[in-house]
Chain A
Amino acid sequence: MTANVLLTIRNLRTHFFTEEGVVQALDGVDLEVYEKEIIGLVGETGSGKSVTALSVMRLIPQPGFIVDGEIIFKGKPLHLLSEEEMRKIRGKEITMIFQDPMNALNPVFTVGNQIAETIQLHNDVTYREAFNQSIELLRRLNIPKPERIVNSYPHELSGGMRQRIQIAIGLACQPALLIADEPTTALDATVEVQVLELIKRLRDEFNTSIMLITHDLGVIAEMCDRVVVMYAGNVVEKADVKTIFKHPLHPYTQALLGAIPYAERKKKSRLTTIPGTVPNLINPPSGCRFHPRCKHAMIVCKTLKPMLLEEEQGHFVSCFLYSKNKEFAEREHGVFEPLPGRIVY
Chain B
Amino acid sequence: MAEPLIQVKNLVKYFPIYGGVLLKEIGRVHAVDGVSFEINKQTTLGLVGESGCGKTTVGRCTLRLIEPTSGEIYYNGENILKFKGAQLNKFRCKAQIVFQNPHASLNPRMKIKDILSEPIRIHKLLPKNEIENRVLQLISEVALEPSHLVRYPHEFSGGQKQRIVIARALALNPEFIVLDEPTSALDVSVQAQILNLLMDLQRKFKLTYLFITHNLNICRHISDEIAVMYVGKIVERAGADELFEEPLHPYTQALLSANPIPDPEAKRSKIILTGEVPSPINPPSGCRFHPRCPKRMDVCDKSEPSYIQVKPGHYVACYLYSNNKS
Contact = CB atoms under 8 A, between A and B. Distances in A.
Chains A, B in direct contact (C-beta < 8 Å): yes
Interface of A: 44-45, 144, 158-161, 188-194, 197, 215-222, 241-242, 245-246, 255-265, 267-268, 270-274, 277-278
B270 interface: yes
Interface of B: 50-51, 157-160, 187-193, 195-196, 199, 214, 216-218, 220-222, 240-241, 244, 254-255, 257-266, 268, 270, 272-274, 276-277
A175 B223 CA distance: 45
19 contacts: A158-B277, A188-B214, A189-B258, A190-B50, A190-B255, A190-B273, A191-B277, A193-B272, A215-B187, A221-B260, A221-B263, A255-B189, A260-B217, A262-B263, A263-B244, A268-B222, A271-B195, A271-B196, A273-B192
Contacts of B259: 189, 218
Nearest to B194: A273
Q: Rank and list the top 8 A-B pairs by shortest CB-CB distance, nearest first.
A: A218-B260, A261-B221, A188-B50, A259-B192, A271-B192, A44-B187, A274-B189, A193-B258
B100 to A, nearest CB: 14
A259 B260 CA distance: 15
Contacts of A189: 50, 214, 216, 255, 258-259
A121 B238 CA distance: 55
Given A193-B270, A193-B272, A220 B50 contact: no
Nearest to A241: B264
Given A215-B188, A218-B217, A260 B262 contact: yes
Given A191-B277, A221-B262, A242-B265, 7 more contacts: A190-B254, A218-B260, A245-B262, A265-B221, A268-B221, A273-B189, A274-B192
Q: Which of A218, A245, A258 has the most CB of B within 10 A?
A: A218
Contacts of B158: 45
A267 B255 contact: no
Q: Which of A161, A190, A219 has the most CB of B within 10 A?
A: A190
Nearest to B196: A270
A262 B276 contact: no
A191 to B, nearest CB: 6
Given A44-B187, A221-B261, A277-B157, A188 B277 contact: yes
Given A218-B261, A221-B262, A222-B260, A190 B277 contact: yes
A258 B195 CA distance: 13
Contacts of B255: 189-190
Contacts of B265: 242, 245-246
B193 A261 contact: no
A237 to B, nearest CB: 15
A160 B262 contact: no
B220 A268 contact: no
A277 B50 contact: no
Contacts of A255: 189
A143 to B, nearest CB: 12
